Each structure stands twice: as C-alpha cells, then as structure tokens.
Amino acid sequence: MVETTLIKKVLIVNRGEIAVRVIRACRELGGIQVVAVYSDADREALHVRYADEAFPIGNPVPRESYLNFDKLLDVAQRSGADAVHPCYGFLSENADFAQAVIDAGLTWIGPPPDAISKMGDKLAAREIMQKSGVPVVPGTEPGLNDGALRYAADKIGYPLMVKAAAGGGGKGMRVVRTPDQLDGALASAHREAEAAFSDGTIYLEKMLEGARHIEFQILADMHGNTIHLGERECSIQRRHQKLFEESPSPFMDEDLREKMGAAAIRAAQAVDYINAGTVEFLVTPDRQFYFLEMNTRIQVEHPVTELVTGVDLVKEQIRIARGRRMGPSDGVTQNGWAVECRINAEDPFNNFMPSVGQVTVHIAPTGPGVRLDSGIYAGYDVTPYYDSMLAKLIAWGETRGEALLRMRRALAEYKIMGLKTNLPFHQKLIDSTRFLAGRYDTQFIEQHMDLRDDENGAAGDQAEAAAILATLVEHQARQQAMQIMARPARDTSNWKWFGRWERMRG
C-alpha cells in the first residue's frame, strides 16, 4: 500500500513563465503555499511577485544561484517547504539534486533519481530501449574512442549525427554529411559537451533525412498506472531547438499512434518511471519510428496536451508526488487541436540573435481559445543570463484549421516592445502554405523559410508599433496629471507591493 504525503508548501527552484505556471497550479489545488527563489537579475521577476515568499540566491550566473544545491536546500530549510518542484531546465533532470532533496526529507515532485539517471545517459537509455523492444536509431555502442567512432561511421553511413551522451538541447550535437567533416565534428562536439555537461562522451547516430520529431506525454503513478496522453508534433525546430508545437500531429494515423503510444509506455516502464515525462521519437516519411530520448520532467510544450485532453499536468505531478492515484488512470481522449508558439527574445531578421532590454509595452492577446503562459510584463528587464524564451502562446480549436486561424489572430494582437522578438517568424510560419498543409519535417526552417524577404515589410509593423507607443505615452501622461490633481485615495488593488511580498532573509 502506498502512503500518501501531505504537501503544504512547495519550493520552486526555477524562474520565468514555468515557475508562474507551477504557482498557479498550487493556488488552484488550494492550501499549498509557494516559495520562490531569485537571482540578483530576477529580483523583480513575475514569479517572485506571485509567490507567498521569495528568497534571494545571489549572482545571476546559474551555477552560483539556480544550480547551487546548497543555496536551494538552505532556502527549503529556512522557509519550511516540504516539497520541491524543479520545473524544466536547470536541475530538473539532475539525479544528484533529486536525491539530495529526498535525503533532506522533502518530497521531490518528479521521477525517481534512478529513472532520471538512466534516461539522462543517452547511451544507457539506448541499451535499455533495445532490451525493451523499443526501436532505436542505428548508431554506436557506449565507450568507443574517436578511432573506433571513425570506423563505425563508415558502417553506419552518411549523413550521420555526432551527439553528446549527457544532456540535450542541441549541445554537443553536429551533423556530418561527408567523411572529411567527421574529425572536426568529433573535436568540437567533445569540447561543447564537456563545457555544457562536464561530460565529453559522444556517440554516433544515423541521420534520418526527412524525419519528423514526435513525442508522447507519459503519466505514471505509484499504484502501477502508466498511460500516455497522446502525441505532440515538435518538428518545427532551429538548431535542434523547438519553436512551434501542436497536438495531435497532422502526420499521425490511429495505427501509428497506437504503436508509438505502446512503445512510449514500455520505455517508461523499463525504468520504473513515476510522474510526468515525455518519450521522444524520430519518425521517417515511411512511418518507421525510432526512440530518440526521454525527458524526465514537465516539457515546455505541455500546454498543448492540456488543452486537447483537459488534464492539468502540473496538478497531476503534485498529486502523484503525494502518493495518490493520477486522475486520468483509465486513459484520456483527445478533443480538438492545440498549437503553441514559443515567443523568444530573438531577432529573426538577424540570424535569431538574442535580444536584451526592458519590455516597454506588453499587450497580451485574449479571446476564445487563446492561452498565454508568460513571465514578462511592461517594465520587465530581459537580461542575457538565461534562456531567451519570454512566453508561450497557445491556441485551441475544434479543428487544426480553427486552431491555426486563432493563432494567427492572437499573433496579430500580441505586442511586445522594447526589444526584438520572434513574433514575425511565427506570423510567417502560419502563412506558409506548405506548413498549413502539414507537410514539414525537422529541416523545414532551413529549407523552406527565408525571413530576409520580410525586412522591408517590417517597416509597416514598426510604424504601427510607434503609433501604439505614442498613444500609450500620451495616455500615461494624462493619467499622471489626473493623479496629481486628485485627492490621495486608498489603494484597493490586489497587487502585492514589493515591500509586502518580498522575504529577504540573508
């Protein structure tokens, strides 16, 4: 019999829109207080303002703040938190930190450390999948030196991928199309993997031309229930970083969904997985699928699954961590279609270079079927220390066409000023006839999109933005003048002023 655990206060060891998302789930569960942490750069971040308590953890450099075990566990002890939610990124897939949380007597809202460790090592994961009957991309076995990798490359055939054994997110990954490119790719992949993950181990995989990136959302509880909640299509990528996701996939049919869903469940059960996770596959044009990796955390793109299934995945994470049965233990049905755009502080007209600065205007889109998961507001400073993602814009419709039309409308409504964003990229993507027809793969951006044609057209958008800004400035000036003339009034808003919500316990 599984014992249930009472969770009264959750420490969120992360930042940005996902920290806000977890705070909202805790609020809706009722009775769960939230503790936030923040670096010097995040002192006025939205997740800090929304939390019940907020603790400073120092330098903006992640290894001195959001990646510092000692500081985070000290906050847990001082705040009286009884559970820790890692969100995604930072320490979410760090088995040592998960174990440290458990050893400190806290509830870890995530999978067991052993499952994180097994799936975090890409080579070990390949071996486990092969033993479980889950297809894997042809590639090398663990422990090969560069000489053996060169020999194996000829056997695998070109083009191929050089990949880091630890981590993900495109770090330590190189495409090799001809033998003369291999030595340089091996050396640079070793260096990047060592710098990013403190582990320079690499391996080779066959590159599947024209493949799609399709993943399955998994939920598993402590009572032996393991289910999938359908697939997400994640093929719109740039340098192995996802930019757009949708559920279901326009490529999928019921037979393929059943086979891939069953394989995803086997993959999770092979490592005794518990909590939310995602099994990722590459799918060839002839509908052959291969295990890519398993992300042992909540995914950035989880909202599209939530909208088509009606399941709150973050609430389920907390419910499962408490030892309770998951809500949808009998499986789920998909209703309608959902699409998501990742809104990043990047300049799509300048090779997607990161952009920093203060958000001077933030006009959020609303209306039927539109959801915005955001960590920014007007006056918020975007710094160079962290990932460039500002928000996630999600739209739902009864059909794919309706979802995309709603997304087109929402993108037109969304105004962010003060820095560059990739909103124009998403607008052009939505207008692509090839994309609208669902005919795309992981190379779509490189092969079918060219934003240089839009540089002149951007002038009209800039003029519109300037007009909006001028109107807002005039409005603010009038408001200030009225406030000076009016008698002082008691503030009746529900906003927590800084001096009231911050808990600075140095």
CA torsion through residues 41, 44, 50, 52, sign: positive
Catalytic, 27? Answer no
Q: Which residue has the tokens 């997110």?
A: 169
What is the sign, positive or negative, of the torsion defined by CA atoms of 471, 476, 482, 486? positive
Q: In what order do the strands lie in the sheet with 241-247?
A: 289-295, 275-283, 212-220, 226-238, 241-247, 337-344, 389-397, 370-374
State which amino acid sits at residue 280: E
Widest Cα–Cα separation across the chain: 82
Give CA–CA dist 377/132, Å, rounded.
47
Q: Which helix (H) or strand (E) holds 56?
A: strand 53-56
Measure the CA angle with vertex 174, ends 121 and 237; round to 5°: 90
Q: How many CB atoms lie within 10 A of CB 99?
A: 16
Between CA 201 and CA 210 the distance in angstroms is 27
Question: Facing residues of 195 across strands?
Answer: none
Residue 406: helix, strand or coil by DSSP? Answer: helix
Residue 22 amino acid letter: V
One-letter identity of residue 354: P
- Choice among 21, 297, 322, 371 that is catalytic: 297
Tell me if residue 434 falls in helix, strand or coil.
helix
Question: What b/e sequence results for 443-477 when a residue is b if at least 16 CB atoms lie within 10 Å of its CB, and e otherwise?
Answer: ebbeeebebeeeeeeeeeeeeeeeeeeeebeeeee
Q: How many Å apart are CA 105 and CA 205, to the nearest integer? A: 41
Rg, Å, the chain Cα set: 23
- Residue in this structure with the two tokens 């124009």, named with its chain if needed: 424
The structure tokens 């420490």 sit at 11
Q: Report in angstroms the alpha-carbon separations of 254 from 249, 257, 259.
A: 11, 5, 9
Tokens at residue 242, please?
Answer: 């996802």
Q: What is the DSSP string of 91-150?
A: TTT-HHHHHHHHHTTPEESSS-HHHHHHHHBHHHHHHHHHHTT--B-SBPPTT--HHHHH
- Reduced to 3 states (helix: H, G, I; strand: E, B; else coil), residue 194 is helix
* Residues forming the active site: 297
